[in-house]
Amino acid sequence: MISAKALEKLRSLKVKKVYLQIPEGLKTRALSIAASLEEKGFTVVLGLEPCFGACDLRDREAKQLGCDALLHIGHSDFGLGTSVPVVYDEWFSDFDPVRVLKKNLKKLDKYDFIGLASSVQYADALKKARDFLESKNKHVLAGKQGRLLLGQVLGCDYSNVALIEDRADCFIFIGSGSFHYSGLAARTAKPTFFIDAETDSFTLVHENRDTLEIKRRLRTEKAKDMRTFGIFVSTKPGQSGMEVAGGIRKALEKKNKQAFIISADMLTKEKIMGMGIEVLVNTACPRIYEDQGMLGALVLNPEDVKDI
């Protein structure tokens, strides 16, 4: 259940009591993971708060509860300083994209230079896709910089894509769910295909880009007529945007808007209900922008403010 590398790291740190942090997609395995750790001699505290990435560490809670380390499942190191040691176990998927590519190779006939991207769990799948496409005489591109793995993207970081965009004829994203591939499709003018590891489907998704831009413009036009803005700053350690929030507030006040900096660990409709906030400007995780209908207010990104 837990990788040998992660277990070795926990033991090298002489950990006795570990705080276990698991993302939403793996919650169904949480108890079996905890039981496996306890069978190996660790005392486990299982965190129940939602986890959206390595920017969302619960090291303060781990320390408060007397844990020697935090075991963070499903994401790679974001580079944050922490109050207790953090051991990352990425949980790489064994998904093989080759069978999907074989079925859909004709759809790639007109593309010679193919850019690849994936979320962290599918880093091994990306390498398999690269080897297969190269065997079919395709030129395969994948960016690599900083702490990110080859071709890896985060919801807030598509820099690996930016490195190769000018040379790629198209992109293929390997993963599951719509969050990462929709973010990629919105950031590039190149055709973008999505290999869904859960359904074995191969879909052209770049056509969503124009729709997304139309929706963004409609939101900014609507915001022009609104007066009360909440600028959201998260207390999650890797999402704090106080400096950005201060600049946004000044920009909104110049436009004769009422602007307040608001903060929470996790933003929900209930937390702002009754306050009279008409527009939220999100400085935290881009996922919040995707949750427009759940917050009871119009949601903008920081770059949208200039268009109000």
Q: Fold for 212-307, please state it.
A: Rossmann fold (3.40.50)
Residue-wise pLDDT tens digits, 249-276 = 999 999 999 999 999 998 899 999 999 9
pLDDT band at 209 (very low <50, low <70, confident <90, very high): low
Residue 208: pLDDT band (50, 70, 90) is low
Lowest pLDDT segment from 108-117, 146-155, 163-172: 146-155
pTM of the model as a whole: 0.78
What is the torsional sign of CA 208, 157, 7, 49? Answer: negative
Q: What is the mean pLDDT of residues 282-306?
A: 86
pLDDT for residue 228: 97
Selection from 270, 245, 269 nearest residue 259 by Cα: 245
The answer to whether 174 and 180 are in contact (CB under 8 A) is no
> Is residue 143 a contact partner of residue 167, using CB atoms and an 8 Å limit?
no
Query: What are the residue ranges of CATH 3.40.50.11840 in the chain?
Result: 4-89
Distance CA 193, CA 202 (A): 7
In this structure, CATH architecture of domain 98-206:
3-Layer(aba) Sandwich (3.40)
Q: Just give the CATH number of 4-89.
A: 3.40.50.11840
Confidence tier at 79 by pLDDT (50, 70, 90): confident
Measure the CA–CA gap between 133 and 108, rounded to whole angstroms. Answer: 10
pLDDT at 185 over 70: yes
Phi and psi based region of residue 296 (left: phi greater than 0; alpha: psi -120 to 50; beta: remaining): left
In this prediction, residues 76-80 reach a mean pLDDT of 86
List, by residue range, all CATH 3.40.50.11860 domains of the chain: 212-307
Task: Decide if 56 contacts 2 (C-beta within 8 A).
Answer: no
Higher per-residue confidence, 239 vs 135: 135
Tokens at residue 234, please? 């998260």
Give per-residue pLDDT as tens, 82-125: 999 999 999 899 999 999 999 999 999 999 999 999 999 999 99
